[in-house]
Structure 1
Amino acid sequence: MSAETRYSQGTRRFGRVNWLGLYTLAMREVMRFVVVWTQTLLAPLVTAGLFLLIFSIAIGPRRGDVMGVPFTHFIAPGILMMTVIQNAFANTSSSIMISKVQGNIVDTLMPPLSAGELVVGYFAGGIARGLLVAVAISVALMLTLGLVPQHPLLLLCFVILGSAFLSGLGIIAGVYAQKFDQMAAITNFIVTPLAFLSGTFYSVEALPPVLYEITHINPVFYLIDGVRYGVIGVSDSAPLLGLGVSALAVSAVAFAAWVLFKQGYRLKA
């Protein structure tokens, strides 16, 4: 091996990780949504505000308190988390899907990046977008409703776990889908129901026994419930249980995404 080759590899890698390639991929994924911030950051804030306004006007005055807090305060954390996970999913799924359709996915696969580095790079973009959306909505809630997070560290943990979980699902969906129609079906029939039917707008204690049990095997329920505890200090389940379930869910989707990249499923001709 020549000195030039050794120097080239040394600048590209440090140890067993291609830090330069990983950083480049992560920055690409972050810049994808930052350059169109009106669509990726401002639009979710407006959508969350509309949800909160509509439910407050239509149901709030008649609903009364839920779990000892005003209805508007109860649903606000759920809307926050729902918006975060939808945007994290959109970030990774759209990135991979667009690259496949345009035929430039090879630009991501050809550099010396391992399957694990690809997963981490895509996760970085999804988590960054989820965190920025969460910060924007949290500031808006503080200014409009006076909601100051009661457990900010737990809130941060659940937002990161939620963003990571849906980023992983977004990778899986982006790899699996071959047309935008398929991606739309995944979003409409899987992601949206998961977000809406996980205690976002109600306490699961009000559900019939069968739906109650089904809800408790849905990882998104624990994410939304954990964020609710982080913001207003009340929840339907133990926060530590939610952290454990969420961490397991993130590990599962990360492993599945790693396997897909490792095999090149629907990515390599």
Structure 2
Amino acid sequence: MLYDVWTVFWRDWVVLKRRLTKFILARMVAPMLYLVAFGWGLGRSIQVSGGSYLDFLVPGILALNSMNISFNSITPVHAERIYHKSLEEYLIAPIVPDAFVLGKVLAAVLRGLISSAIIVLLAFLFGANLQLSPSLLLVLVLNCIIFAEIGFLAAMKISTYEEMSQVNTYILLPMSFLCGTFFSTQALPDLLRYFIELLPLTHTSFLLRSLAGGNGADMVSLAVLGVYAIGGFYLGSRAFRNLVR
């Protein structure tokens, strides 16, 4: 099982390693624009909870970025299944189906963590005050896992490229702006806030902001992320096994 996971992961790592410089440079663009526009521009005139808006913003950018990178890193599986028909190589290969899912998810997590590390470095250059800790890393990993699993499930279920892009439009884009990334969910109307606070990115934003500020992790939010991660793996694994059948 572990060897199978490593084999799938290693294949994706080889591809990433060949493009690593381009990947890093591309991952710097959006965070730098956010930091300049909201951190330096708008943020200079805003104080949040007694601190700077930049300190409030960076954990939200980490949550948002790790969501997008992890999801988009695994969606090429959709092209392998629908267009290239290369997914059949894995279907007939002597590997455990769960190992394929885990390998792909871990490869997406690696991309998400590399991108997150770039944001942390940029944030320090912009003067943000962040406290890094193993708990913060754990939350980032969980967030990457959850959205990589969502991407994998979408790749297994969706039939066309156009429908795949709609996942970004109708699911990821609303979460990007409403799940506590750029402003507190307390500013939302109650009914909408209750729904938004059920979503995983909201809990990630809340946890990262708390941990980066030197406070502890909320165990309820951690448990929610854990449930999402376990449920996402179960659904993704079942969808892949159905292809095998």
After TM superposition, is the score higher than 0.5? yes
2:98 equivalent to 1:116:
yes
Matches within 5 A, 1:1-269: 17=1, 19-62=2-45, 64-94=46-76, 96-100=77-81, 101-149=83-131, 151-233=132-214, 239-264=218-243
**Structure 1: stretches of 5+ with no match in the other structure:** 1-16
Question: Secondary structure of 2:94's match?
Answer: coil
The 1-side partners of 2:155 and 2:224 are apart by 24
TM-score by structure 1 length? 0.84
* Aligned 8 A contact 1:155 1:227 in 2: yes
* Aligned 8 A contact 2:196 2:202 in 1: yes
Quote the offset at 1:219 in angstroms: 1.3
Quote the offset at 1:232 in angstroms: 2.3
The 2-side partners of 1:229 and 1:90 are apart by 27
The 1-side partners of 2:21 and 2:220 are apart by 36
Quote the offset at 1:39 in angstroms: 4.6
Structure 2 residue identity aligned to 1:212: R
After superposition, the C-alpha distances for 1:56-108 in whole angstroms (9 at most, x for unaligned) are 3553233x2112211121111101221111000011112x1221211111112
TM-score by structure 2 length? 0.92
The 2-side partners of 1:70 and 1:212 are apart by 24
* Aligned 8 A contact 1:99 1:105 in 2: yes
Go from structure 1 to structure 2 and tell me whether the alpha carbon gap of 1:25 and 1:38 turns closer, same or farther (over 3 Å shift): same
Q: Percent identity?
A: 21
In our comparison, the structure showing a higher alpha carbon Rg is: 1
Superposition RMSD on alpha carbons, in Å? 1.9
How many equivalent pairs are there? 244
**Structure 2: stretches of 5+ with no match in the other structure:** none
